[in-house]
Amino acid sequence: MRDIDRLAIKNIRVLAMETITKAESGHPGIALGAAPIMYTLYTKVLKKNPMDPTWYNRDRFILAAGHGSSLLYTMLHLTGYNVTIDDLKSFRQLGSKTPGHPELGVTCGVDATSGPLGQGIPFGVGTAISEEYMRNKYNNDINLFDHYTYVLCGDGDLQEGVTNEALSLCSVLKPNRLIILYDSNDIQLDGQVSLCNKEDVKKKVEACGFNYMKVNDGEDIDDIYNAIMKAKKSNMPSFIEVKTIIGKTSKNENTNAVHGAPLKKDEVIDMRDNLGGEEFSVLDEVKNLFNEIKSNDLKAYDEDYKNLSNYKAKYPKLYSEIFDKKTITKDDLDLPFDASYNKATRNAGGDVMNRISEIDKNLIGGSADLMSSTYIKGINGEFSSTNRLGRNIRFGVREFAMGVIANAISVYGYTRGFLSGFFVFSDYLKPALRMQAIMHSPVINCFTHDSIAVGEDGPTHQPIEQLTMLRSIPNMNVIRPCGREEVKEAFVIAYNSLNNPTSIILSRQAMNEYRTLDNAKENLSMYGAYVIKKEVNKLDCILLATGSEVDLACKAKDALFNEGIDVRVVSMPSMYLFDKQSKEYQDEVLPKDKFILGIEMSEACHMYKYINGGKLLNITTFGESGKASDVMNHFGFTVENVCRIVKENM
């Protein structure tokens, strides 16, 4: 190792500690221990351009151990990204560009939001899948996509179940441009790793199809570099265990005390005195080193953009497929209106997803071993180690990893991710759904078997609180359509939404189509709620329903009309979108002076704000096992019960 390398690493450590100490908050352990790993990556390995941080062919880096953010921000500052010394000084402060954990879209140079341990490795898997697909689909005599995905993880990441899901999936998919660097220091927050985990990491990752390597001295940047270079030549994904010392150079090094507690200010001052220079400064020799690195970065970047210009001229259609953002309409789906359509919305969902996949050549996703039940799958065969152009991923029973991987595929920028599963099992991937929403990632989540109408499978498979859970996630659009027309509209909305994920909730049971030829052309679901069946003469009351319960409300409307009660039926596929409409529109659809009965086979608490003191027919217990019709009768989702409630409140 050169003297300048030692000096630079020392400066990195001091700067990261000053960042944490000024904030009086942060994690010095990884920032000190993993500094040589990050230095090696950012100075000798990563293909990047700080002036164009979203460069399509840059190497991607995911800090799985997101609590090491002070180290990442320090490296971003030194390598020329738009992270200033003032940004380091405002670390973890309200409104700063250097939040407590890395956030996509907040800090220049951050490729993924991270922090909740475990999601970094599956995010890396999804990113590597996108690179494999794009490289194999679009590279020809001109190479556009030629980069690697690097993940830095710690002991805690490897203990999370979702990481094991992702590692296991790699045994089949073999994303060989994925390189995981394991900051292996044998210490975690509560003490030694051996107190809770004694597995053989080498055997584990090798069993999952990884090329395992070990660097015995985490201070030896030459060994770290050589291991990464070997990994880049491997035909398997690589896992490099780097033995480090947590809190290296601090008084509490090699103990859990240094994991998440800032160093004493006097200790950080001593570190700076030993290095030289003013607080929060970078030594001139180190500045010169990083200026040379910036110059080298630009050479690869300039060469890539020459390739891109030539590619655009020679292959304009392929260029457009990659870089031109697309929107679609209902007409693009080429699925004509059918008034007699009475299949389950999952059937319609499968038809629509197939059509969108034909339109968008880079839509990739799959199911957690349920595509034969959800009817949602990718086209062009299975994505695998032998078919990089397949767009259906067999995730297996790995819901959480599926959610993270779909998130990464969408964040990648040139591919779009989707997933499918039973709605009740959205519980398994809720943390991934939350991260999708935080990252503004436009994933299309398709959940079927949406209610107690699942029937005989019983309460373990009958979602009750899941609609409430998803509707409570900020930035998540939850759409529960009725009929094929609303399904088409839901997928159009989801596909055209580029700044938020969408969860489309579909039924197993059949329902009638209540849209007409006259109102089928406009995407009425984009308003969130609308009048699907108008009152005949005068408005006596309103039935407000979502999904399959719209079918029930429309049947109840006919029965009530025969008894002299004139009812309006409002379909509300998306509360998220209805809340964005004007107050005038909302009051027009749901006038406040009329009795409103909300109908939904779920916990449905979000409906209360729309019924203006009316009544809510919902479910506040778990479901029951039995025939679907019997279970729905048991919970009162019948025409007779709806009519009874209306008449009692008129």
Positions marked active-site? 399
Alpha helices (H) in 389-517, listed in sequence order:
399-411, 430-438, 466-471, 483-496
SS3 content of the chain, % helix, strand, coil (to 5): 45, 15, 40
Would you state the structure tokens that stand for residue 267, as one six-digit string?
């200790």
Q: For the purposes of burial, counting CB atoms within 10 Å of the CB of 44, is it exposed (0-12), middle (13-18) or buried (19 or more)?
A: middle
Nearest partner of 67 among 97, 102, 33, judged by Cα: 102
Question: Measured between alpha carbons, how far apart are the two ends of the chain, in Å?
Answer: 84
Contact 180, 236 (CB under 8 A): no
Number of H helices, E strands in the chain: 24, 18
Residue type, 3: D
Angstrom distance (rounded) from CA 55 to CA 410: 16
- Residue 546 vs residues 281, 410, 423, 518, 572: alpha-carbon distances, Å: 59, 28, 15, 21, 5
Q: Are strands 416-422 and 363-367 parallel, antiparallel or unpaired?
A: parallel
Q: Are strands 502-505 and 149-153 parallel, antiparallel or unpaired?
A: unpaired
Angstrom distance (rounded) from CA 627 to CA 453: 8
Strand positions, DSSP E, 47-131:
60-63
Q: Angle at Cα 220 formed by Cα 217 and Cα 226, nearest 5°? A: 105
- Residue 99 vs residues 26, 90, 104, 107, 126: alpha-carbon distances, Å: 10, 9, 11, 8, 24
Would you state the structure tokens that stand for residue 480, as one six-digit string?
């529960």
Angstrom distance (rounded) from CA 440 to CA 130: 18
Angstrom distance (rounded) from CA 539 to CA 566: 6
Residue type, 409: I
Q: How far does CA 418 lie from the centroid of its chain?
A: 10
Would you state the structure tokens that stand for residue 217, as one six-digit string?
């001295």
Nearest partner of 565 among 647, 630, 626, 485, judged by Cα: 647
- Residue 510 vs residues 71, 190, 290, 526: alpha-carbon distances, Å: 54, 52, 63, 23
Name the strand (E) or helix (H) holding 504: strand 502-505
